[in-house]
Amino acid sequence: MGRVSEKIILVTGGAMGMGRTHSELLAEEGGTIIVTDMNVEEGEAAVKRITDAGGNAEFMPLNVTSEADWTSVCDKIVAKHGRIDVLVNNAGILILKAVEETTEEEWDRIFNINVKGVFFGTKAVLPGMQKAGGGSIVNISSIYGIIGAPMAAAYQATKGAVRLLTKATAVDYAQYNIRVNSVHPGVIDTPMTKDLLHSGDEELVKAIMGTTILDRAAQPREVSFAVLHLASDDSSFMNGSEMVVDGGYTAV
């Protein structure tokens, strides 16, 4: 028996980076994973890796900024599997700029994906979770949603919003046995950060690594274990809380 056996789990941004490793680990632990992403080709490849390894997964295209996509995907999952037990709101983008360099278009784009996407997803699964008697929502924030850092103003504002949207939802829906928690990764080696971490520019890498006391970037799977914990019933008394997975970045 895996830790999420028989759970129906929807992961956003599951084609690449951490979304892909979350999907893989949750499948290894017995979950049925609905991998969603805008990137159909990479999303289908991610699902193939899981099914080739013996896991249960299927791909559905989903742009998290489209409420119509959310309705259609959730309807399809419920028609086929009867319910959604876990939602992992993982899809996100990064813009590295200070306030004065950030345009209105960039501000709106990052808020649409990183915050409105989480709002739409949460809203889409809540009625079904209430009907089914409970569920777990895992929102991917960042340490940049807790502390300040240079050149990431809009991104930090979105991740701070996700942190508190998590707590607000936890407060309102605990009565329905729905738990909502956030995960706060530090510096993780994914397609999002690869141009920075592998730029060969030592000063830049040092600035990105900040105060990571383990002195390395994490592999995405190291964060997936936190997601697995929050998705599983092992975290039954965790609600509205924050799991920091940052190699000690915020400890100093």
Active-site positions read: 155
Q: Among 191, 216, 233, 236, which residue sits at the site for ligand NAD (rule: CB under 6 A)? A: 191
Distance CA 100, CA 160 (A): 19
Residue 64 vs 178, nearer CB to ligand NAD: 64
The size of the interface with ligand NAD (CB under 6 A), counted in residues, is 29
CB of 155 to ligand NAD, least distance (A): 7
Nearest Cα residue to 114 out of 137, 97, 151, 89: 89
Q: Which stretch binds ligand NAD (CB under 6 A): 17-25, 49-57, 80-88, 169-177?
A: 17-25
Distance CA 248, CA 252 (A): 7
Rounded to 5 degrees, what are φ and ψ at 121?
Answer: -65, -45
Residue 81 vs 163, nearer CB to ligand NAD: 163
Residue 102 vs 142, nearer CB to ligand NAD: 142
Contact characters 120-159, ligand NAD, x per CB under 6 A: --------------------x-x-----------------
Angle subtended by helix axes 17-28 and 220-231, to nearest 10: 50
Q: Are 59 and 44 in contact (CB under 8 A)?
A: yes
Distance CA 147, CA 187 (A): 13
Distance CA 85, CA 119 (A): 17
CB of 214 to ligand NAD, least distance (A): 14
Distance CA 59, CA 37 (A): 8
Looking at residues 161 to 180 of the shown chain, list those that interact with ligand NAD (rule: CB under 6 A): none
Residue 96 vs 192, nearer CB to ligand NAD: 192
Residue 93 vs 147, nearer CB to ligand NAD: 93
Q: Are 170 and 240 in contact (CB under 8 A)?
A: yes
Residue 65: partners with Cβ closer than 8 Å, 6 or more residues away: 112, 113, 116, 117, 120
Does 85 interact with ligand NAD (rule: CB under 6 A)? no
Does 185 interact with ligand NAD (rule: CB under 6 A)? yes
The site for ligand NAD (CB under 6 A) is made up of: 12-13, 15-19, 37-39, 62-65, 90-94, 113, 140, 142, 185, 187-188, 190-193
